[in-house]
Amino acid sequence: MSQPSDRPIVRLRPKAEARALRHGFPWVYADELVTDRRTKALAPGTVARLEDAERRPLGTVAVNPASKIIARMLDRDAEAGIGVDWLKVKIDRALSLRARLYETPFYRLVHAEADGLPGVVIDRFGPAAVIQPNAAWAELQFDALAAALVEVTGVETVIKNGTGRARALEGLAEETRLVQGALDGPVPVPMNGATYMADLMGGQKTGLFYDQRPNQAFAARLAPAGRVLDVFSHVGGFALAALAGGAAHALAVDSSAPALELAQAGAAASGVAGRFDTRKADAFAAMETLAAEGALFDLVVCDPPAFAPNKAALEAGLRAYERVARLAAHLVAPGGYLVVCSCSHAADLTRFRAASARGIGRAGRRGQILFTGFAGPDHPVLPQLAESGYLKAVAFRLSP
């Protein structure tokens, strides 16, 4: 455990604004902190006491001199002890919320800063859980984090998923391993009336995207007895929900053969395999091919990867979202529906919605917005941190 008496002190620069930190902002950027030789020598993940320029305490932080985010707020109490007991309190609080929201233990249990554990993502899959320690402090504290998780939740299987862009920005190596328990293939996940198959060791991110759950439920209501196209489908998120809701047929398009195999397994487990097909292809090329074939669908859903993961990529990302909407609009039957999604925090709702509307217009179509959705409540948003509210989903009804 990190004890207050053992901690180094790090201090804000005289011109750095401490007000945002006092009001809940969880990060200190490298140009806001005094980075003398002593601070630069701190090992990534070191727990320290943060003070303002007048030496007044601001809280307990985790420091990583190798990261642009040089300090992450762990606790507003500068005297907080950071260890298993502290982690148990955080996880228990997160668990109490999810237990109230969901009848079955399949959800995002910890959503990083929004749940008071900066850089930590934990997704629960019944008796199993996947931990993503995306910050240096969580990497150092991983054993304590896993122990706290098991004690609070009673999960039997724990997987460490140490992959992704966030870890690279922290200077952390990639590593995925089974920490505790056993796995016997993909895990079935009941959600929105369907059964999804999640590959916890080799799948994308933690194996399944829980964040789209409410948006998939809404989209499923739009095409009862209709034809559905799910582009960038991953393991069939929107397609399987629509089939569970009574859609006549669904086609899932993705560039990943393993993801489509899991989608097919999910369709079989859901009892809808006879109404489900897949197509392995680049999403843009597939939509152009389908248009050339004259294919039309009552519902088209596009849930692409983050085209604008940061501000530098914003303009190119918005053009990509516009192109997605344009190609997809050509495939929507008269009076049908188009759902477009973005998980890019750099592209806010206004910009994303405008890019999508431009794309629909360029396809010669017009539409009315029926629904704007966000991540489910197991992905809470920290009001002071825009990045925690990354997901947007907009449903259009297109004119004939």
pLDDT digits (tens, 9 = 90+) for 264-291: 999 999 999 999 999 999 999 999 999 9
pLDDT at 24 over 70: yes
What pLDDT sits at residue 205? 85
Contact predicate 186/198, CB 8 Å: yes
72-120: per-residue pLDDT in tens?
A: 999 999 999 999 999 999 999 999 999 999 999 999 999 999 999 999 9
What pLDDT sits at residue 2? 61
Domains located in the chain, CATH noted: 4-75 (2.30.130.10), 84-180 (3.30.750.80), 192-398 (3.40.50.150)
Percent over 70 (pLDDT), the chain: 99
What pLDDT sits at residue 3? 66
Contact predicate 161/130, CB 8 Å: yes
3-state secondary structure of 10: strand
Average pLDDT, the chain: 96
154-165: per-residue pLDDT in tens?
A: 999 999 999 988
pLDDT at 1 over 90: no
CA distance 255 to 263: 13
Residue closest to 204 by CA, chosen among 236, 159, 167, 161: 161
Please, which residues bridge with residue 397 across strands? Answer: 337, 368
- Write b or e for each residue in 208-235: b if 16 or more Cβ atoms lie within 10 A of its Cβ, otherwise e: bbbbbbbbbbbbbebbeebbbbbbbbbb
Q: How confident is the model at residue 128 (pLDDT cuts 50, 70, 90)?
A: very high
State the catalytic residue, choosing from 299, 343, 382, 395: 343
pTM above the 0.85 mark?
Answer: yes
pLDDT at 146 over 70: yes
CA distance 61 to 71: 6
341-390: per-residue pLDDT in tens?
A: 999 999 999 999 999 999 999 999 999 999 999 999 999 999 999 888 99
**How buried is 15 (Cβ within 10 angstroms: 0-12 exposed, 13-18 middle, 19+ buried)?**
exposed
Please, which residues bridge with residue 158 across strands? Answer: 129, 180
Looking at residue 134, its amino acid is N
For the four alpha carbons of 371, 377, 379 and 383, in that order, the dihedral sign comes to: positive
326-346: per-residue pLDDT in tens?
A: 999 999 999 999 999 999 999
Contact predicate 135/120, CB 8 Å: yes
CA distance 288 to 217: 27
3-state secondary structure of 2: strand
343 a catalytic residue: yes
Structural Rg of the chain based on CA atoms: 22
Report how far apart, in Å, the C-alpha atoms of 350 and of each of 219, 328, 338, 370, 372 are.
21, 20, 17, 15, 11
225-264: per-residue pLDDT in tens?
A: 999 999 999 999 999 999 999 999 999 999 999 999 999 9
What is the residue whose two structure tokens read 């933690």? Answer: 206
Look up residue 86 and give its two tokens. Answer: 């502290």
Looking at residue 141, its amino acid is Q
Contact predicate 53/11, CB 8 Å: yes
CA distance 231 to 399: 21
